[in-house]
Structure 1
Amino acid sequence: MEKRRATVYDVAERAGVSIATVSFAFRQPERVKDSTREAVYRAADELGYAPSASARQLAGGSQGALGLYAFDMVLPSDRQGSSETLDTQVERDLDAGLQLGRFPLYVDEIQHGFQLESMLRNRSVLIGSAASDDHVATMDIAGSIDGLAMFPGTEMPQGIAKVAKRLPVVVFSRPVSDAFFEVRVDNVAAIHELVDHLVEVHGHRDVAFVGGLVAPDFVERFAAFQDAQRRHGLPVADAPFDSTALTGARLAGVREAIAAGALPDALVCASDQLALTVLEFLGAHGVNVPRDVAVTGFDGIAAGVAATPSLTTVRQPFVTMGRLAVRILVGDEEVTGTRKHILPTRLVRRASCGCREGED
């Protein structure tokens, strides 16, 4: 027999407050004093309760909706309202181009696959973002959907383990516990193939890593890079050559190397988004790619094709990742038998490493 789902009445009783106070704690937390609010959250966690949307409260069944959320991937400045006029916003937006570094571009491609598979399965999609420490937002998400796929950012959101006890949760691009489903790629094999190409095909011996170790996938890629250096008998780096993160200070290590005339033979960037910034930066400083230095990325976003030169990269199967997440969330038995789905990648050779356009 299925265990009865905890209700607002259960939480109120456990916390020793009224049901109105429970509602305010989740919907208007500023109206509840800190100690009371924490008592409500603690009771909700212990009971596995999430505030339900009205349809679920009435029917006690499925919402027919799946959630796709990104945590901590928006800059604080982007979360604030703007007092600019519409014309000023449009002008600034047009001048900003891709706004590299402001939001991970690969998210759009996974979202495309997620929405496509949801449409085919007659499911609606709730898309949004939240801060990882926003307990209210996390619980609100769980109350509106039948399953959640998420981009966790630099750390797992608070309260998400409680959500996973009552809903299936898919996490993209990081290793997770068996409480969640995991959809990511084989970073180790991908980086080994990339470094092998730079060393064995192009003869580079001074190969450096660019990217701050701000996320688990970047950490895994750098560890694989160190291992690849070791396998080829190259000096093994203790830390990235340049630790620029997507929203951090811009390319201090690369800048210093240019000034000293000491650029490596090749730069392996932790992501395409960072690699595109590197290409733009090198070009602005008169450095020719790939003649002076080869540059590679990781992800395979569409913007890499249009870059000058076009970007050599590792392609992740983003659309497949999004579609796979939906299949997991709707309970497709073919894919729910395992918690960890680690997908292959493909090396895409383009001009930025010295290969001819379209060369396989």
Structure 2
Amino acid sequence: MSTSPRITIKDLARELGVSTASVSNAFNRPDQLSPRLRERILSEAHRLGYSGPDAKARSLRTGRSRIIAVVLAESLTYSLNDPVASELLSGIAEVLDAHGHTLLLLSGRQHVSQAPGSASMADGFIVYGLMPSLKVLNDLPVQRPLIAVDFDIEARPSVHIDNEPACHAIAHHALASRPARRIGVINLRLTASPCNGPITDDQVLLSAERTITRLRLAGFHRAFSEHGIDPADVPMWNIEENTFEVCTPVVEAILDLPDDERPDLLLCTSDRIALTVLTLAERRGLRVPEDLRITGFDGIAEGQYRAPRLTTVRQDSVEKGRIAARMILGLSPHEDRRLDTELILGDTCP
């Protein structure tokens, strides 16, 4: 049985009476064409079964694939469901779409040898979050541009928010607004070895270059010291994954402590942790903020649309993604960037 030959970019251009460059721009650089011409080209391409320029052929011909790979520290399912990660990806995609680039998502939990073949053709890499192994980064092509988001890679530009000052501000507010008898800090991935529970003295903490949690903790500690509290006297817990299911056993153990041991102020390094505390506290009949005050970090919509409204720090994750994308495309200088945050005073720690 014979099959029809695959239509080429030259065939389509000839059929439409336009240049091959116009056809290429319709798929890869939409800003270079009028909307009417682009729609005409795409409509005819669809009718003839032409799906667009071959990325591998274009890469071999021009040295550029117009593919930008985003390497995520977590699984793709987790990242797409996480409000902060999904907002970051939205900002990246917005810029790439506007400039005719394709977004390729990779998981840092997948060995680079298992990644799609197009990963090796990517024009650049945006790496987001605490990688499970630095080997993932070592396997990326060293000659391609790379931007780190929320952690540092030597000799590569990074995009951060003001983690330490932001956490200093929210802890200072909590301590100044009302005295706390028992303070606790719940961290996200602070320990070098896996730990889902109390942090003990024999555990090694990750450096600030590896995890933003260390910077957030430094802000809390600065506020403690200014209020005459020894940071060493404040108990800490660690959460391994920023989900309700993983947070729950740790938070339940804290809230089920005897009344004279249970914290009356919990500073949480993510909104997901803080919202888990709030939900489980309400199930136990604890009054928030009368019996327990809670602070979060991130400013996700869920924390602002429920009652009591979460006291937190809002970061603009969409803009963080836009900045990283502009840098990787060469539209902004390759230099370290740090974004400001906003303190939101809600009902959980007024």
Query: Do both proteins adopt the same fold according to a TM-score greater than 0.5, normalized to the shorter chain?
Result: yes
Residue 305 of structure 1 aligns to a residue whose secondary structure is: helix
Contact 1:66–1:125 under 8 Å retained in 2: yes
1:155 alignment counterpart: 132
2:71 alignment counterpart: 69
Residue 236 (structure 1) shift: 1.4
CA distance in 1, matches of 2:82, 2:234: 23
CA distance in 2, matches of 1:251, 1:196: 28
Q: 1:56 to 1:136 in 2, by over 3 A?
A: farther
CA distance in 1, matches of 2:348, 2:116: 45
Bigger shift: residues 342-351 or 134-143: 134-143
Aligned: 1:242 with 2:237: yes
Give the gaps of 5 or more residues in structure 2: 1-54, 192-209
Residue 210 (structure 1) shift: 0.8
Q: 1:200 to 1:238 in 2, by over 3 A?
A: closer
Q: Which amino acid in 1 is paired with 2:150?
A: S
Residue 240 (structure 1) shift: 4.8
- What are the within-5 Å matches in structure 2 for residues 2-21 of structure 1? none
- What are the within-5 Å matches in structure 2 for residues 1-360 of structure 1? 54-56=56-58, 58-73=60-75, 104-131=82-109, 134-137=111-114, 140=117, 142-161=119-138, 163=140, 165-178=142-155, 180-204=156-180, 206-212=182-188, 213-214=190-191, 216-237=211-232, 240-246=235-241, 248=246, 250-252=248-250, 255-261=253-259, 262-332=261-331, 334-336=332-334, 338=335, 340-354=336-350
Q: Which amino acid in 2 is paired with 1:218?
A: T
Residue 156 (structure 1) shift: 4.6
Aligned length: 274
Q: 1:209 to 1:254 in 2, by over 3 A?
A: farther
Residue 143 (structure 1) shift: 1.5
Bigger shift: residues 167-176 or 204-213: 204-213
Contact 1:138–1:159 under 8 Å retained in 2: no
CA radius of gyration, larger in: 2
Q: Which amino acid in 2 is paired with 1:344?
A: D
Residue 325 (structure 1) shift: 0.7
Q: Which amino acid in 2 is paired with 1:120?
A: A
Give the gaps of 5 or more residues in structure 1: 1-52, 79-98, 355-360
Residue 237 of structure 2 aligns to a residue whose secondary structure is: coil
Q: Which amino acid in 1 is paired with 2:98?
A: L
Q: 1:240 to 1:167 in 2, by over 3 A?
A: farther
CA distance in 2, matches of 1:107, 1:168: 21
Write out per-residue CA displacement over residues 161-181 of structure 1, whole angstroms, 9 at most, x where no aligned residue.
453522111221113311x22
Residue 273 (structure 1) shift: 1.1
Displacement over 6 Å in runs of 4+: none
Write out per-residue CA displacement over residues 214-245 of structure 1, whole angstroms, 9 at most, x where no aligned residue.
56111221233222211211131367532233
Residue 220 of structure 2 aligns to a residue whose secondary structure is: helix
Q: Which amino acid in 2 is paired with 1:169?
A: L
Contact 1:208–1:264 under 8 Å retained in 2: yes
CA distance in 1, matches of 2:234, 2:147: 31
Q: Which amino acid in 2 is paired with 1:176?
A: I
Q: 1:256 to 1:204 in 2, by over 3 A?
A: closer
Identity of aligned residues (%): 26
Q: 1:73 to 1:229 in 2, by over 3 A?
A: farther
Write out per-residue CA displacement over residues 176-233 of structure 1, whole angstroms, 9 at most, x where no aligned residue.
311x221111211011000111111234353321124156111221233222211211
Q: 1:251 to 1:192 in 2, by over 3 A?
A: farther
Bigger shift: residues 288-297 or 152-161: 152-161
1:37 alignment counterpart: none
Give the aligned CA root-mean-square deviation in angstroms. Answer: 2.8
Residue 65 of structure 2 aligns to a residue whose secondary structure is: coil
